[in-house]
Amino acid sequence: MSTQMSERLENVYQEIIKRNPGEVEFHQAVREVLESLGPVLVKYPELAEQKIIERIAEPERQIIFRVPWQDDKGEIHINRGFRVEFNSSLGPYKGGLRFHPSVYLGIIKFLGFEQIFKNALTGLPIGGAKGGSDFDPKGKSDNEIMRFCQSFMTELYRHLGEYTDVPAGDIGVGGREIGYMFGQYKRITNRYESGVLTGKGLHYGGSLVRTEATGYGAVYFVSEMLRTKKQSFGGKTCIVSGSGNVAIYTIEKIHELGGKVIACSDSNGVIIDKKGIDLDFVKQIKEVERRRIKAYTEKHSDAIYQPGGKIWDIPCDVAMPCATQNELNGKDAEKLVKNGCVAVGEGANMPTTPEGIRVFLESGILYGPGKATNAGGVATSALEMQQNASRDSWTFEYTEKRLAKIMSNIHELCFETAEEFGTPGNYVNGANIAGFMNVGQAMLSMGLI
């Protein structure tokens, strides 16, 4: 990735900063895309003339709302809810909801902006959006989570619909939260509209493989990258940050493909288990008991827990950041490369800082950016919508085969686009350009909207 942009793109970027003050993550996500687009505007000047970049960077609609709720002691709390409907050129708005105390408009806009291009890469008919709240689910009872989700949906429902906007999960939003939100949507609207949310439970319209999809898909993408170098996961030592939904199913698929994951983490610390992470136990701790990853040492006394530790210091062949944005900086990237890492695949959204990305690209190691690597989650959400629309449910094997094919198509598209635009092996350029071209062409066809 070059840090240079043409004067025209630099002006566009400065204008975006001015119009969206203080939203640093959004600025970062926009800059990363703009840095790839110079050659596209030279080849297709109509995209510049029609101000496609300026239009894409301005959300079609931004909704901010109050979410009042009561805790178990009867105390009242007020949170802020967001839904940024960024782009609907390719289909209904689609993108997850994040519940985390760090959420503010800048985080939702960075995620929504990335989602436009990611969804375009899947080749499926879905637009881009993201939403969430600064609500902190940690330490809350089931009843508190339910009351919060019901209050959140009581406002959000009026903006949703299977042909309008279809949310899913993200950090802090899994099957339990989607269930409460679907129940409230159904109750308010008096409609059993399965296709209005994805990530639903299997007994009421969910899809097999959706839970596993982001992690599995990310591993498929890295497998495809390794294949270009005639390598595979077999025998590789891997590290995976996080221990939530994406991390867990990333670890599961790596183990299935013959790799060994020796470390994972949460926001408090890192677990290192040289024998290979005991995933059943991690699932028990995180999915069933909802405890901290530190509890891993209760069963595995030979594993090491490093409070506040840096997972990227651990030597590995493959690193997969699966926790959150900007969790891997320039120094971390240098350490990974120095320690012999051959591939990095992002399960999380924008986990690597711009300096980190530069280090990876200059080193020539395989580097799969999140908007391509983690697209399997939203792709399988689109498959869930297909099943809902046809009142059908597919088998695990069939759905997983579809996911694997979609990931291999995304890889091929990014790989070939990077070559076509003169930067072979640069998946950042490949993903940004291919995603942008799809959305840009659709917008051109629809006139000035």
Q: Which of 171, 222, 365, 413 binds ligand NDP (CB under 6 A)?
A: 171
Burial of 305-314, coded b for 16+ CB within 10 Å and e otherwise, reads bbeebbbbeb
In angstroms, the CA 174 to CA 15 distance is: 37
In angstroms, the CA 267 to CA 309 distance is: 9
Listed ranges 47-55, 69-77, 176-184, 316-324: which one lies at the site for ligand NDP (CB under 6 A):
316-324
Q: Which is nearer to ligand NDP, 102 or 141 (CB)?
A: 102
In angstroms, the CA 241 to CA 66 distance is: 33
Nearest to 36 by CA among 301, 328, 430: 430
3-state secondary structure of 169: coil
Q: Which is nearer to ligand NDP, 353 or 423 (CB)?
A: 353
Sign of CA pseudo-dihedral 214, 217, 221, 226: positive
Sheet holding 318-320, edge to edge: 304-307, 269-272, 260-266, 237-240, 318-320, 343-345, 366-368
Looking only at residues 107 through 146 of this chain, which bind ligand NDP when binding is defined by CB under 6 A? Answer: none
For the CB of residue 44, give the shortest distance to ligand NDP in the complex, in Å: 29
In angstroms, the CA 271 to CA 426 distance is: 32
Q: Which is nearer to ligand NDP, 132 or 430 (CB)?
A: 132
Nearest to 165 by CA among 110, 54, 87: 87
Pick the catalytic residue from 130, 200, 253, 371.
Answer: 130
Answer yes or no whether residue 181 interacts with ligand NDP by CB under 6 A.
no
Answer yes or no whether residue 242 interacts with ligand NDP by CB under 6 A.
yes
Q: Which residue is nearest to ligand NDP (CB)?
A: 244
Listed ranges 34-42, 75-83, 261-269, 418-426: which one lies at the site for ligand NDP (CB under 6 A):
261-269
Answer yes or no whether residue 261 interacts with ligand NDP by CB under 6 A.
no
Listed ranges 48-56, 240-248, 312-320, 335-343: which one lies at the site for ligand NDP (CB under 6 A):
240-248
Q: Which is nearer to ligand NDP, 52 or 206 (CB)?
A: 206
Taking a C-beta distance cutoff of 8 angstroms, is the pair 29, 348 a contact? no
| Catalytic annotation present for 299 | no
Listed ranges 68-76, 250-258, 317-325, 331-339: which one lies at the site for ligand NDP (CB under 6 A):
317-325
* Active-site amino acid positions: 130
